[in-house]
Amino acid sequence: MLHRLAILVFALAFAPFAHADDGDFGDRLAACAACHGKHGEGVRGSEYYPHLAGKPAGYLFEQLKGFRDGRRVSTQMAWYVRFADDAFLQRIADYYAALPPRTRGADTGAAQLTDERRRVAQGLVEHGDPAHKVPACSACHGANLAGLEPGVPALLGLPVDYVIAQFGAWREGIRNGAPPDCMHDVAGKIAADDIRAIAVYLSQQSNVDGLRPAPAGSFVPPQACGSLPHAEAAQ
């Protein structure tokens, strides 16, 4: 029912939407709010929809283009943006990037991790797995996991099921980034149990509101990635 309602809202708000003027742009964004929250903070109960507020505009723009052009698979999102031009997608991305970063809060409903599984998850997030050439999440997404301009998103506060689904999509080639697709490589090296532990660990972090992505060039990620056009990877 919620899925059908969201599609109906989008059909009314975004057709035709490629040339929306300033007067009705806000009304058209109501379709996004149905799944991503009024202020881009995400919606409790929508476990497969991430928050958008404060994420880098470059990242959001690339994801919208990915849905439109088939690099990311989502029937719902592809239908929403199928006729949008780059200028309109950039406008949406800029709007959400400019909002104060906020999430729906820590996911306290997710299954709790044992002390051992939490240790494993925290270790992968903060230090990676050098033996298997898996970089730490923080090496690319920042020490506070708030992201990096212009193309690396924040990780904190994401729903468990969303994170697990994205890892699966990268592993199976359903979600593809601009080459070199670093996340496809990383996701294929992490065991399924560890992916779930990482997802639960990230979802339960709190006090993330207001954290802005690090400015471009603030640090050098450990490997080349298509989402990092501003920086060379550490050699």
Q: Does residue 113 fall inside a structural domain?
A: no
Q: What is the pLDDT of residues 99-119, one digit of tens each?
A: 998 876 656 556 789 999 999
For residues 50-75, give the mean pLDDT: 94
Lowest mean pLDDT among 16-20, 69-73, 108-112, 148-152: 16-20
Question: What is residue 223's predicted lDDT score, i.e. its pLDDT?
Answer: 84
The highest-confidence range among 137-141, 206-210, 226-230, 231-235, by mean pLDDT, is: 137-141
Domain span at residue 51? 2-98
Angle, alpha carbons 211-212-216 (nearest 5°): 145
Q: Does residue 203 fall inside a structural domain?
A: no
**Average pLDDT score, the chain:** 84
Q: What is the pLDDT of residues 176-213, one digit of tens each?
A: 988 889 999 999 999 999 999 999 999 887 656 678 99
Q: Does residue 133 fall inside a structural domain?
A: no
Domain CATH for 28: 1.10.760.10
Q: Does residue 227 fall inside a structural domain?
A: no
Question: What is residue 10's predicted lDDT score, i.e. its pLDDT?
Answer: 46
Question: What is residue 11's predicted lDDT score, i.e. its pLDDT?
Answer: 45
For residues 144-166, give the mean pLDDT: 92
Q: Does residue 224 fall inside a structural domain?
A: no
What is the band of 168 on the pLDDT scale with cuts at 50, 70, 90?
Answer: very high
Q: Does residue 58 fall inside a structural domain?
A: yes
Q: Does residue 20 fall inside a structural domain?
A: yes
Question: What is residue 110's predicted lDDT score, i.e. its pLDDT?
Answer: 61
Question: SS3 string of the chain?
Answer: CHHHHHHHHHHHHCCCCCCCCHHHHHHHCHHHHHHHCCCCCCCCCCCCCCCCCCCCHHHHHHHHHHHHHCCECCHHHHHHHCCCCHHHHHHHHHHHHHCCCCCCCCCCCCCCCCHHHHHHHHHHHHHCEHHHCECCHHHHHCCCCCCECCCECCCCCCCHHHHHHHHHHHHHCCECCCCCCHHHHHHCCCCHHHHHHHHHHHHCCCCCCCCCCECCCCCCCCCCCCCCCCCCCCC
Asked whether the predicted pLDDT for residue 76 surpasses 90, the reply is no
Question: What is residue 159's predicted lDDT score, i.e. its pLDDT?
Answer: 87
Q: How many domains does the chain have?
A: 1
Q: Does residue 73 fall inside a structural domain?
A: yes
For residues 69-94, give the mean pLDDT: 92
Residue of 56, 55, 53, 51 lying closest to 157 (CA atoms)? 51
